[in-house]
Structure 1
Amino acid sequence: RACRLVRKKNFFFSLYLKIGKEILNHIENVILGIVTSLSNNEAPVLSLPNRSSWANISFDSAIGLQMSSGSSITTIRSDCPSSATKFGEKTQALLLKQFCFSWFLLNLSRFTCFHRDIYYNDTQLFGSQTTVDRIVDDISCMLKIPRRSLHVLATSKGLISGDLCYLEEDGTRIDCHSSSNAVAVSSNIGGIRNIVSSAKFVMIVEKDATFQRLLDDNFCTKLSPCIIITGKGMPDVNSRLMVRKLWDTLHIPIFALVDADPHGIEIMCIYKYGSAMSFEAHSLTVPSVMWLGLLPSDLQRLRVPDDALTPLSKRDESKLNSLLKRPYLTSQPGWQKEMELMQQTKVKAEIQSLAAISPDFLTSTYLPNKLRYGGWV
């Protein structure tokens, strides 16, 4: 019995070193609150920072968007039908207990799991993968710790290619130099080490179609050594973490190549300033991101044919107006000017519209000139 107690003590000591006393305290306090409520025959209540309100988000030019210290709180009760619906088909109390204890045991066992693992553990309970993703974000925000610290990872959807080699946590060597095949962004960015690169810049590419075109044209070696990465539209956390990791490690310029439309601009803003996950902004944002293209002013300057342009929809106009009201736009007069031009012309264009000038215009003329002569904002 004494030996078991010693082993148990040593285990918890190593556990505290691994995931931190503060994290365990956060988890234990949540569990204690639920158990106390249940023991008193009271409905458990969960208090979450309201991540959907801009009133709770402040802007720091060195970090990006971040949760305000006095953020309003959303209270979710297990005996409230609307709250139960928000967290799935079962009652919120059951879900909270399962989640809190699952995270606690997960850390005790020192294993990691993926969002999909949690969903498939009980598909009827959670209802959808989206529900799991939302709950993971809510609990992470509630505990004020990144999901990675809870050993919960998301499957990556992003791709990366170019002048880059590194080691995964398990020692696997990853070489991204291939001109024809991209490498999937790692699901464990924190475990990446020994990054080696001679790249002169990193270019974030909004869409997979454009990314594949750059690969086909061997863009990463024709102009100068570089790294290109895409989150295939709205970026996942791992793609954002990877861009941040490269910026922190290589200290090279970060450019964004997105469509000249409100959706593309919003994606670029997420890389640069953050999103609803503003409580993790310090590890997800890259304040130095520069807008390389496609700029609304490029459409006029290059005389892109009218039949390659598309009128802004009502939804586009609403999105653009919303973006122009974001707190960070005052620090980016160049971006603001481009967006106001889009507002005036009421047209948008995809990167592929440059093919209307010539099939290889993007890689043979547009990007080389932009990068050579400083055509970014």
Structure 2
Amino acid sequence: MPVTITKTKIIKSREQAQQKPETVSFLASGLGYFLPFGAKVEVKMSVKTFLHCERSSLLNPKNRLQAQIQQQPFNYKVSVLLPDCDGGGASSQLEATLRTFQSFYLIRNLPLYELLNKGLHQGSVCGLSYKTRIEEDNCAFLESNGRLSLSLDKDSYERFGVEGQACKPKTSRYVVTVDLTDAVMAPGRRSYKRLHSGLTSRLPLKMDFLFATPAGNSEKLQPLLLRYDWSQHAPEVASRLLTDLTLPGRFTSDLDSYDPFDFLEWLGAVQTDVGRNNTNDDYLSTLACPYPAGASSPSSLLLSACGLLLPENVETLLAQLGRVFEEPRPAPWAAVTVHGFADSLEPRQRHFYTLVLFPNHVYSLYRATPDS
């Protein structure tokens, strides 16, 4: 089945900025290409998912890595794979870094009008409704920049009385997005009164809500913690050593000889502990290490943290990995995979991204997002 790759050329002038992207087609089974610095590739994996590939360097002042990490404000899990690493100092340092991630709070049966509290949306607090299904239930999301989003079914949207947009044409779900930091949303203004009355009288929603704040500072949450049932949670951290792990062959920062689909499939199998020592004629599974297979790593390190994780946590982890690479005989590369919540409102936040780092500061970023 053919897939479509859209390659955006490096822009060097104003005239080149007007050029349309170059589009070529490959077969998924034969996909292999070289990415120059700054290049971007979009691979259509299916009718519902895109794989975006980008290669650059941490030393390049124009790299967009930090901005891309910030695009996914709600993260559920981060995993790190370090091949040819026997634990030791790297293991203890990375595990200690994961354990510095801030705690998060679960507030039960929270009336949504409480999200209009000025101390929340001006205090870098973010949160999302807990155990709500994005395609069936009413859901809410509060970003740290004060952006409040509600995903509502048709009946709730009509009762709410605040203008929004249909998720898709001829759909039964609607999204209402409000910038709570906008001057028109100041208490007493007409827009604020309409939103407040919608959440207090026309549609008095209550939900279990997860909250996180930078560095775990709960001061902004104290008014809610005093009035509602709540619990505090720390991210779950896990670490284990993998023995005799067969690695992809010729895997270097040049990225000119491997298929990103195969690599991500292999990496996912490693992270989920799925068997990979199969052959093409196996009856139950043909999943194997990407061809050509490389040497077997006697010891590889796999760590993970699960919870409500912020982009700042990912940046802290990457900084620590940079220090690990400075040690004598560092790992040949590291793969960091960050999973967003499957029920997130924003399509770009629903799937995952994987960052492959090399000791020479070159990185490759793979982002999987729904085509919606």
TM-score (norm: length of structure 1):
0.22
Highest relative contact order (Cα 8 Å, sep 6+), 1 or 2? 2
Structure with the bigger percentage of strand: 2
Structure number with the higher helix fraction is 1
